[in-house]
Every structure is written in structure tokens, then in C-alpha cells.
Structure 1
């Protein structure tokens, strides 16, 4: 082991970057649909050894001395994000004649940008580098901060945070209710890095003891939490999830729109699976292939398809007109429609997808001929505030449209708290790739973090209902056409928001930083 560590540590130039790239790419095996979390033990062990040898020229300035560490982390991140996000290119191939030219930007450009966060993490860690477990704390602290930063900088994109790799099953997910995904990411990096100490054995015993204690605590807490009595199901609320599995290339074709709408209505009217009439029917994101408010006949057809007392919750494009009657804005929205075909409530998507739903620097990019991937006459506008939406039955849901569910910060609402999470999405853009599996896992974690059940309707899967602890109660896999009927699970009411996990995250970061600083100081004294 010591010999292997020495060889990796002494790598330089292209060989160092290739090994770092491959180590990062290997770590993606820890994510859905593979869930082989042991892969990250190899990834971070190699990264620690590479950073052991990433000392810059002592005569160079601060940036020069940190440059090898930054590029080591950047290549690691580049491998991780290329292997984990290559499927984004599938969205550009739906209309290849228009968007295929941008394939390199999605498959290589975005990973290159996200890799900067990991480069900064390793440069930060190298500032506090020492021997023993201190350097593991520095690396864990750096990655924890990096994952937190990429959740909001440049509009934010915290997809595939490292912590997800340590939570492949519900029993291992429960700890995120205490420390959140960013706290789990910091602790995961420490645990995954411990095998690196086998080469030198300095600090191995205490580091191994801490890692084992963390894993035992994680699993132990999960076993305890899952064994607690379940909250009573909302017996009066039976949810029906409709999954039409519409081909993305056909969705906005004029000749297909009526057939798609009739499929949704037919599935809504289908016989109950549970023997109880669904009280609430849920359609996926932008499932209605036209502007509902401009089509009164469609609203009438919805009212006729619903039984007395039933409510439809659907994703749709909302149109807003100005005083002159001209269309001013479009929103990616959720409508609540009663059995008379009347829209009784709505919520707009707030966190839009750059280039997918709107163009950053729109004036400049539109003059260059660029447009959004989503089909609207103009770019989507963002909603003004996130609020829970009340539905008949006295319950309120937290509306999260598409990738809004990956942002822990989006769990905060203004006004009355929610009783369950409603996530509508359309992952048909990405076909049979790891993307929809990764998306669903992140939605699962939001249920665990909030103690609220999750109701998820996806156009072509993965649609599911989970309980308040993230366990899947029923659902449909990819490309299945059908419905799922299930009573709404109970709410743990464990916490209302993310403030407690945020405090836990910063306490973890502070502890890691203190250990790293003390180790660095002791190392510097010994070295002198």
C-alpha cells in the first residue's frame, strides 16, 4: 500500500491529471442507479495521495503554490461530473437539428465549470495540509464548503453532492434529517478518505475509529428512526399519480396534442386500484400541451373527467396578460382544478433552469440566435415567492417543479407550512440514462430532511409516493403508462425548514476546521 501511495503521490503532468480524472469518474458508481458506495473509498483515497504530492514551487506566490492542488481537484471534479452528468446531452438531441451543436457545452462545459468548486476545495485543503487525520479533516471541510457554495452560486446546481453516495438505502438516509445533505457530504469525504492513511499509518487508528463510529451512528440512527411508530395516513386523501409517458419529441406537435390530452383524461377516469375513489389526481410537469386558460373546452373536459369531489393537480404553462390583453409572461406552473373545471389555486416555478427555461444575458444571447430548449413563445418568468398550496381536504402541499427538488433551500415557504411535498417533473428529456434515477434519489432525501411524505409525478418515470422517511410505498418505473392510487402518508412534523440542519452543518465545518488547524500547526512545528 505504501509503495502504491508513493507512486501516485509522485505522478506529475498528464499522468497525474489522468489518474485524478479517472478517480473522480469512478466515484459516480456510488450514485443511482449503481449505488456502489464503496467506489468512493477508492476515489478519495487516490485523491488524498495525489494531494500529498501536490506541493507547488516554494518560490512561487500563494497562487503558484496552490496551483497543483487546485488542478488536481479540478481534474477529479471534471471526471466526477462528466461521468455523472453526461446524460444532460440527451435533452439536446430531442431536437438535434437545433441544439446538437451545444452538446459539448452540456457534456463538457458544465462539468468543467462545476469542477472549479472541487478545485477550490482541494486548494483550500492544501492550505491546511498536514500528516495524519488532520489532512482528512481539511479535505472534508473543503468539500463540505464547496458543496454548499455550488448550491447557490451562479444560480446553483447541487446535483450529485458527494453525500448522496453515502446514502444508497433509506436506513442510511435518515441522518440527513439531522445534518442535511451538505453536512453528510463533509462527513462522507472524511469517511471515504480514511483508507489513505493505511499507507503511512499516521493517525490511522483514531481516524479509523472515528469513521467506524460515524458509520455505526449513521446506520444506528437510521434503524432507530425507521422503527419509530408511523404517523397515521391521511385516510380521507387518496392520491392518484398519472404517468402518461409521452415521448418528448412528440409532446408539442400539433397533431399529437389532443391525443396526449385524451390519454391523461382516460388515465384519470380509469378504475381505482385500491377500491377507494382517488380524491386528488396528479399530472406531471407541463403535462397539458396547450395553454389551459386559453382553452375553456379543455377545462370543461377536465371537469367532466373528474368525479364529484375530486381535484386535479397538474403541471401546466401559465400565461399572464398585460392590461392591453397581450401576453406578457409565461410561467412553468402547477394548477389546482376542481370538479367543475375551475382553476382554484396555482403556484409558479421559482428556480428556473438556465438555458432550458430562460437565457442568462438574454439580450446578448438572443442577438446571437440562441433560444431556450423548452417550448414556449418566449422564455419562462420566475415566480415571485414560494408558498404552500391548500387543496380540498384541508391539507397543504409544498410545490416543487422539476429540479427545484434538489435544492434544500427551496424547502422554506412563506405563510402556512406544508403537509407534503409535491414534485412534478418531466424527465423524458433524458431517456434511459442515470439522470432520472439521480433526480428521484434527491427528491427522496427532501422527504427525509423535512419529515414530509413525497408525492412525485414524472411524465415517463420515476413516479412514486414515499413516506416521511423516504421509503417508497408505491410507484412506477420508467416508460410505464399507468396510475398509482395510494392514501397520503402521514407527516412527521419533524421540522419546518432547514435551519436546524444548517446549524449542524456549520458545527461540523467548524469542528473539521479546528482539527485541521491544530494538526497543521503541530505539523509545522514538527517540520521546523
Structure 2
């Protein structure tokens, strides 16, 4: 393989191809679910970038990121334009800034890839999966993190799904990227008439894809013999009136009405901020719910919390969820959505445009190491909206719990792909932890997800209704719950350390 780099500018054709390659990855996720496109996206990107200098690799990575995030998360435009009181030109500009900023992370990863691998194309191919995974991991925490559109998430319906409880979403992503690189190696070896090497690589990389479906019956956790009955209410409250004081009573009445035939269920779920007033002002509502509930029933609802924070040494609002009835506990959201739940640099941004003054955008994060909620004899670990996107965060809190639960209000994103992607992410968390997950949303997608990440019951989007189903408590830990993403990250670091030019200088 040649070591010569071509420090010329990227052609428009190559830039367009990189945009297309990034966009292909969006098609692997819900609602499209064309997971098989992922390795081919990697092939296109890697082939274009193999001979580029680090400076050009930054541009190439940024173009690829623009394709991925421009197609995959442009649904933020809906919340900015339709619900953020922002004009269309400003909403477009803010969406472009958001997408362009995320794409810079891919640009930085591609640049680092070139710096680490130097001029060797073989070294670049070997390092590509490692750099990709490290880049994904950095994106999960930098500036509060954006753990969205991980390639492994799409495999919840693919042949690699069975490996998620073992190696997690980052490990699955690693194998997807490695598969794309293997295609390139196979092609080059075949061209050089080294057919045995090409066949060996193809077989080794294809083995998990072929064996994965055979492992679907492997049980990493133990399910209880008897199910618990659950009911989840989907109010379909229009986002425009969600925080309007004139409609607060109407919203609460909606959920009370939806629950009127289900007060005796073991577990009842209302979505994020279903009670749109702080808990210190919702005493009568809570008392009414307690009076209606059956003796063995627990209702869990999203509700804003206002009180004194020892960590902040001040009174503050929090986005919370609480258990009422035959259970107890309150959980405060830890992973807040920038601009939706808090405003970075608010001393400068507040008041500039309506988007920076969204209702309830002054929440404070909850403390770490919070206990699960209790619902009868169930230990229920809740996650509020965006939190379910953090794989290691969920895996850590899922330990020593029986059931996972997540609430959200995806009404911010309308008819876009955002709610479908969010649902798919929740399914991956259930699969990784081997636990049932009950998901309650304002306008969809409300569902019960089993311990294999499969939807057992759901309510159609943008409808008002009640989901009635059954869930099973789970005990035990999946391998991923015990190790988190560290095996995949450690493997990536080992590759980076040992495949560098100074360690293996003769690699062509």
C-alpha cells in the first residue's frame, strides 16, 4: 500500500460523497432501520480519506459530520422554530450552528486519526475503528455530552443485537466500523491475489454477524415468574399549552380521566412533567391520587420539584419524578438538556431571542448516586428524557434494580425522526441491561420494552390513550452492566498505542 499523501484540496465530488456517507448512517436508525448500510458508509469515508493530510482530514471529517448530524438531528429545528418563539431564519441559523458544532467533533477525530497513523494507509485502516470509538466516547461527555446516533444503537434490530448485553453499544459500534474496514482490506488483498488472507479476514469479521442471531435465546438475567400489571397514560397535550397557567387544571384532569379505570394496576405511569406544577404546590392533586389508588398500586409521575438544595445552598427547581401510593421516592434528573432545561452562559443569552427563554429552562441537576423508586416490592430505576441516551449512566444505575422506567415529552420534536430515534435508544438500554423498560411519553412513543429490547405493547403517536400491559422484574447483571464500556475503550486505546508509527515502524 502506498504511503504517499496528496495534500491537495478536497474535490467537490469527494465532499459530496462524504456528506452522503454521513447521511447513510442516519438511514440505519429509526424510523428507517436500514442497519446494513452502516459498514458501507464506513467504506466510503475511509476510502476517500486514506491519502489525505491531517489538515484535509479535519475538513473531510467535518463534511462527514455535517451529513450525519444534518440529516440525523436536524429535528432540533422543530423545537427552535415551532416551540421556541423564534423566526424561521434564526431557527435555521441556530440549527446550522448546532449541526456544524457537532460535526467539528468528527473533524477533530479524523484529524487525530491522521496525526496518529502518519502516512501509512495500513496503519490508518487499523486505527480507524479505535479513533471512531474514542470520538464517540468524547462526544458522550464533552459540554454535557450528546450521546446520540451511535451506530451500534441501530443493531437493536440487527444481527449484532445479541452482543449488546456483553459489550454494550460502543462495542457493537466498534465491530460495525471494523467490518467496514475489513471490506477494504479484503478488496485490496483480493486485488493482490492474496485470496487466502482476504477469505480469512472476511470469515473472522462475518462470524459475529452470522452467529449473533443464534444467541438471541441466551438469558443474562433472570425474570420473575409472575408479571406485574402496568398502565401508562399518554395525554397528547399540545406543547403550546403545556406551561400555560390557564390550561394547568385541564392537563391534570386529562390524566386523571385517562386513569379512571386503572387505579388498581400494580404500576401506573404518567409522563414527564405530567403534573405541570411544582410538588410543593401540588398537594391537593397528590392527595387526590393517593385516595384513588388501590391499596397495592403505585403511580409514578413526572413533576417539577422546588426546594432547598444542599449542594447549591439555595432554593432551586428540578425536573423530577416521584412515586405515590404503595411506593415512595423521588428522583431528580441529572443530565439536563442544554437550552431546554438550562441555558449555558445565561447571563448573556437570556432575553436575546425567545428560544433562550423557554418555559422551565432554569432547572438544576439532581445529585449523584440517587436511590431507585419503590413501587410495591419493585425497585424501579427512572430516567428522565435525555438521560436514557447515556449508556454507561443507565448501566450503572440499573444495578440492583428490578425494572427500568423512562419518561419523556417528545412533543418538542413533532413529526420528525427524533422521537423514533429516542425510542430506539431506550430499547438499546433495555437490551444492554437485560431488563424490562416502561416508557411513558406525552404524545408518543409510549411503550413496554422487554429485556431483549423488543416492544411488546405501544400506543400510536399523537393520540390520547392508555397502554395496559405486563412487565417482569429482572435480577442479575449482564456482563455490560459489570464492566460498562471500558473493555471497548481499552481495546481502542491499546490499538492506538501499539499501531502508532513509532511502535510498529515497518507497517506499510
What band does the TM-score fall into relative to the shorter chain?
A: 0.7 to 0.9
1:186-201 map, 5 Å: 186-197=174-185, 200-201=188-189
TM-score (norm 2): 0.88
Larger mean Cα displacement after TM superposition, 193-202 or 396-405: 193-202
Partner secondary structure for residue 189 of structure 1: helix
**Structure 1 residue aligned with 2:85:** 97
Question: Please, which runs of 5 or more residues in structure 1 have no aligned partner?
Answer: 1-7, 56-65
2:66 to 35, 55, 78: 78
- Measure how far apart 1:283 and its partner are: 0.5
**Cα deviations by residue, 1:211-237 (Å, 9 ceiling, x for unpaired):** 543443245245324254984446363
Change (3 A) 1:205 1:279: same
Counterpart-to-counterpart distance in 1, 2:329 and 2:113: 49
- Measure how far apart 1:40 and its partner are: 2.6
Counterpart-to-counterpart distance in 2, 1:122 and 1:253: 46
Partner secondary structure for residue 174 of structure 1: helix
- Measure how far apart 1:10 and its partner are: 8.3
**Structure 1 residue aligned with 2:3:** none
**Cα deviations by residue, 1:267-303 (Å, 9 ceiling, x for unpaired):** 112269xxxx411100111111223431332223323
Aligned residues: 497
2:281 to 294, 302, 321: 294
2:147 to 141, 153, 158: 158
Change (3 A) 1:268 1:208: farther
| Contact 2:62–2:106 (Cα < 8 Å) also in 1 | yes
Counterpart-to-counterpart distance in 2, 1:146 and 1:415: 25
Is 1:19 matched with 2:17? yes
| Contact 2:339–2:356 (Cα < 8 Å) also in 1 | yes
Change (3 A) 1:462 1:71: same
Counterpart-to-counterpart distance in 1, 2:329 and 2:176: 41
| Contact 1:54–1:68 (Cα < 8 Å) also in 2 | yes
Is 1:483 matched with 2:480? no
Is 1:381 matched with 2:364? yes
1:427-506 map, 5 Å: 427-495=410-478, 498-506=481-489
- Measure how far apart 1:425 and its partner are: 0.5
1:148 to 100, 116, 137: 137
Change (3 A) 1:236 1:419: same
- Measure how far apart 1:429 and its partner are: 0.7
- Measure how far apart 1:12 and its partner are: 2.8
**Structure 2 residue aligned with 1:261:** 252
Partner secondary structure for residue 97 of structure 1: coil
Counterpart-to-counterpart distance in 2, 1:102 and 1:317: 30
**Cα deviations by residue, 1:51-90 (Å, 9 ceiling, x for unpaired):** 12313xxxxxxxxxx1011111111111111110011111
**Structure 2 residue aligned with 1:44:** 42
| Contact 1:454–1:467 (Cα < 8 Å) also in 2 | yes
Change (3 A) 1:42 1:228: closer
**Cα deviations by residue, 1:220-273 (Å, 9 ceiling, x for unpaired):** 24532425498444636312111112111122223322222111111112269x
| Contact 1:234–1:487 (Cα < 8 Å) also in 2 | no
1:227-242 map, 5 Å: 227-228=218-219, 231-233=222-224, 235=226, 237-242=228-233
1:303 to 290, 315, 321: 290
**Cα deviations by residue, 1:440-479 (Å, 9 ceiling, x for unpaired):** 1111111121222211111111111122221222122311
Change (3 A) 1:153 1:216: same
**Structure 1 residue aligned with 2:126:** 137
| Contact 1:241–1:483 (Cα < 8 Å) also in 2 | yes
Is 1:243 matched with 2:234? yes
| Contact 1:130–1:519 (Cα < 8 Å) also in 2 | no
Partner secondary structure for residue 266 of structure 1: helix
Counterpart-to-counterpart distance in 1, 2:69 and 2:271: 28
Partner secondary structure for residue 305 of structure 2: strand
Counterpart-to-counterpart distance in 2, 1:80 and 1:368: 29
TM-score (norm 1): 0.84
